[in-house]
Amino acid sequence: MTEETGEPVRWGVQRRLEFIDFRLFWDGRFNRRDLAETFGISAQQASSDIAQYTALAPENLVYDQTLKAYLRAPTYEPKLMHASAERYLLQLVAIENRWMRHEDTWFDHTPPIENVSLLRKRTDARILLHILDAINQRGQLEIQYKSITGAPEPRRIIAPHALFHAVGRWYVRAWSAEHSDFRDYNLFRIDRAGEISGAVIDSALDFEWIHETDLILAPNPALSESQQAALRGEYGMTDGRLVVTMRLSQTFYLMTEHNFDVEPDALPPGKQQLVLINRDEVVNARKTARKLSIDAIERAMR
């Protein structure tokens, strides 16, 4: 609804007003044609939307007769959007990785960008749909999986209950019939997903997933004071510490990514910029939770 009248704004109009706000914030300009072409509306409707936005935020834009465009005013303040730099940057990465088409965003143009990472194959939408259905139905299903650490046999029966993203990959958290415990499966390595049946194990027994722990991080003391200060600022530390609360099962990935699983003196400080102060506590908590989970599953299967 508008602040001026208190009347609700139709969803379609609301989206177009958000588009105006988005373009002003990130591109600094837009014109009536941008609005009309993006939403497939008439020039008259676009003019009406612009007038409505102007009434809502008159200090946000000025019209330039020469450019025939509305420009971001010096007094601009976001009115209808959350000014998230992370969302903007993630969309740029998504376009660069071909996960998203440029036309599926509200960008007019994008800055030069390079994504320095190895591109993986696209996830099969049908496989993801099967996984999501199994999660929603609390079921289990057979998958064809290419493991690089486990048995060469591709068939697996899993009961997935969550998805998570770590170190550039998407994973499925699931009970494994083969191992009779809860494990993580790389979504990119699932080649096929079969029919869904009722799960024989309750995901509530996944104690590594359910329980959380605090990781207490600090700059590597072997770094210079100026380097430590830079890290404290980058991570927004308080009293030289950063406390990260996360699921026990997820601590493995963060520890691997940042070399927290390596003794602090084993690597050059530049390769281990942060240290995990309570490493033993975190590792022991994860091991204990997994053992409790395996024991609970064994009792449930009797």
Give pLDDT tens digits for 229-248: 999 999 999 999 999 999 99
CA 212 to chain centre: 19
Per CATH, is 11-72 categorized as 3.90.1480?
no
What is the pLDDT at residue 273?
A: 94
Helix (H) or strand (E) holding 22: helix 11-26
Q: Is the pLDDT of residue 146 over 50?
A: yes
Q: Which residue has the tokens 């530049």?
A: 270
What amino acid is encoded at 114 in this protein? Answer: E
Say what percent of the chain tops pLDDT 70.
Answer: 93
Report yes or no: 38 and 106 within 8 Å, Cβ to Cβ: yes
C-alpha to C-alpha distance for 139 and 200, rounded to whole angstroms: 8
More confident residue, 301 or 119: 301
Report yes or no: 178 and 205 within 8 Å, Cβ to Cβ: no
Q: Is the pLDDT of residue 108 over 70?
A: yes
Report yes or no: 220 and 264 within 8 Å, Cβ to Cβ: yes
CA 132 to chain centre: 17
Residue ranges of the chain assigned to CATH 2.30.30: 125-201
What is the pLDDT at residue 4?
A: 44
What is the pLDDT at residue 265?
A: 81
Say what percent of the chain tops pLDDT 90.
Answer: 68
Q: Please state the rounded mean pLDDT for residues 7-21.
A: 82
What is the pLDDT at residue 278?
A: 95
pLDDT one-digit tens code per residue, 51-104: 999 999 999 999 999 999 999 999 999 888 776 677 777 777 776 777 777 776
Report yes or no: 12 and 46 within 8 Å, Cβ to Cβ: no
What amino acid is encoded at 294 in this protein? Answer: I
Q: Which CATH architecture is the domain 125-201 placed in?
A: Roll (2.30)
More confident residue, 43 or 302: 43
pLDDT one-digit tens code per residue, 197-210: 999 999 999 999 99
Q: Is the pLDDT of residue 105 over 90?
A: no
What is the pLDDT at residue 154?
A: 87
With bands split at pLDDT 50, 70 and 90, how would you rate the model's confidence at 50? Answer: very high
SS (H, E, C) 176-230: ECCCCEEEEEEHHHEEEEEEEEECCCCHHHCHHHHCEEEEEEEECCCCCHHHHHH
Cβ burial, residue 226 (10 Å; 0-12/13-18/19+): exposed
Q: Please state the rounded mean pLDDT for residues 148-161.
A: 86
Residue ranges of the chain assigned to CATH 1.10.10: 11-72
What is the pLDDT at residue 8?
A: 53
With bands split at pLDDT 50, 70 and 90, how would you rate the model's confidence at 140? Answer: very high
Task: Please state, in angstroms and as integers, the Cα–Cα distance from residue 280 to each residue in 211, 260, 266, 270, 283, following that order.
Answer: 17, 11, 16, 22, 5
